[in-house]
Structure 1
Amino acid sequence: MSESHIRPARPEDDDALGRLDRDAWSPLHSVQSRPQPPYDPFFDSNHRPEHYLVAEEADGTVVGYIRLVAPTPLASNRHVRQIQGLAVAESGRGRGLGRALLRSALQEARRQGAVRVTLRVLGHNKPARSLYESEGFAVEGVLPGEFLLEGRYVDDVLMGRGVSG
């Protein structure tokens, strides 16, 4: 992954991230329908640039992102961060970019004072589950048959891990 680096997202990444998100869409990880034109902006009031880290090639091409946010606005939940999206462009797969984004998000969570990071992943998304497990995430709950995707009921798997200091 020497030709790529991870950096905070910027407002001008909107178009590139929108394209990447549409190109990476799959029922393996998305519970929403395939995006159709006209496309909404990638960033909005709930999805701000400061919530994202991006993987960028040496030539400036954005090839991945991860979204890290507080799971709720509650003060009692302030010590937790949640990963709510991870995508890598086809051109960036197999190079460790997903792992690099995940590790960068864990470092950012620690920097923000979090002691836990959680996420949700679809039960049939074995590549993502394997990645998360290899980085110390454990299954903490399963919502059986939570989503009906392409005629199949799919589990929603809740995973989490501590963030060591």
Structure 2
Amino acid sequence: MIINPIRFSKHNQSYVIRSATISDAKSLSEVRLQIDGETEYFDRVQGEHYIDEYEYKEIIERDRKSDKNLLLVAEVNNEIVGFLRCIGNDLKRTSHKVEFGLGVVKEHWGIGIGKNLLQQFIKWADCNGIRKITLQVLETNKKARTLYEKEGFIVEGILRDDKLLSGNYYQTIIMGRIRP
């Protein structure tokens, strides 16, 4: 699915949120790898489950054609600094819901990129008949959990001892939002 570009500005920093295009594949591959190395909040350590430029081209093409998938990017000065990807399916029993993940380069935290990616995604989902949105978030990612709660997500479950970080086990929080 495709959405039109939208410009945002905060603290004298402007950025654009838009649907990914095939020409974004290389940048998306690099940004995802960078973000994986900047935070422990993702499932992967840097380099694990690497998606190269070719694979991203396939993902972008598939997502642009699907009415259940969405891949948004955030650009600062024409450079991709964040993304949100939503995946749904056409199975009759679960076609009403999608799951998503998002990431923002650490240097650009604090100017609303994650919040605006999420809000644009929610608008898209609500306008496209998506009844339920789900996500998984690490228990220690309090900023993300707070953001999700402000946008109407609630805790639906907890996966105990789900992630191993620096020799310690942490919980994964499963959150969901049902369209009002």
Range of TM-score over shorter length: 0.7 to 0.9
Cα offset, 1:49, TM superposition:
4.8
- If asked which structure has higher relative contact order (CA below 8 Å, sep 6+), I would say 1
Q: Judging changes above 3 Å, is the alpha-carbon distance between structure 1 residues 78 and 35 closer, same or farther for their aligned structure 2 residues?
A: same
> 2: CA distance between counterparts of 1:27 and 1:92?
13
What is aligned with 2:83?
A: 65
In structure 1, give the amino acid aligned to 2:31: L
Which sits farther off after the overlay, 61-70 or 46-55?
46-55
What is aligned with 2:21?
A: 10
| 2:176 is aligned with 1:163 | no
> 1: CA distance between counterparts of 2:51 and 2:104?
19
In structure 1, give the amino acid aligned to 2:43: V
> 2: CA distance between counterparts of 1:117 and 1:133?
13
User: Which runs of 5 or more structure 1 residues have no equivalent in the other structure?
Assistant: none
| Maintained 8 Å contact 1:116/1:161 | yes
> 2: CA distance between counterparts of 1:62 and 1:162?
30
Percent identical residues: 32
In structure 1, give the amino acid aligned to 2:149: E
| 2:127 is aligned with 1:127 | no
> 2: CA distance between counterparts of 1:9 and 1:39?
15
Moved over 4 A (4+): 44-49
What is aligned with 1:74?
A: 91
| 2:52 is aligned with 1:43 | no
Cα offset, 1:23, TM superposition:
1.6
Cα offset, 1:88, TM superposition:
0.9
CA RMSD of aligned residues (A): 2.2
> 1: CA distance between counterparts of 2:176 and 2:93?
17
| Maintained 8 Å contact 2:26/2:56 | no
TM-score by length of 2: 0.79
Q: Judging changes above 3 Å, is the alpha-carbon distance between structure 1 residues 31 and 16 closer, same or farther for their aligned structure 2 residues?
A: same
Q: For 2:83, what is the secondary structure of its paired residue?
A: strand
The C-alpha deviation readout for 1:48-94, integer Å capped at 9, x for no partner, is 5533111123x321121101111x542111111111x2111233211
| Maintained 8 Å contact 1:54/1:65 | yes
In structure 1, give the amino acid aligned to 2:96: H
Q: Judging changes above 3 Å, is the alpha-carbon distance between structure 1 residues 122 and 44 closer, same or farther for their aligned structure 2 residues?
A: farther
Q: Judging changes above 3 Å, is the alpha-carbon distance between structure 1 residues 27 and 97 closer, same or farther for their aligned structure 2 residues?
A: closer
> 1: CA distance between counterparts of 2:52 and 2:82?
19
Number of aligned residue pairs: 160
| 2:142 is aligned with 1:142 | no
Q: For 2:56, what is the secondary structure of its paired residue?
A: coil
Q: Judging changes above 3 Å, is the alpha-carbon distance between structure 1 residues 24 and 30 closer, same or farther for their aligned structure 2 residues?
A: same
Q: Judging changes above 3 Å, is the alpha-carbon distance between structure 1 residues 108 and 99 closer, same or farther for their aligned structure 2 residues?
A: same
| Maintained 8 Å contact 2:25/2:57 | no
In structure 1, give the amino acid aligned to 2:56: F
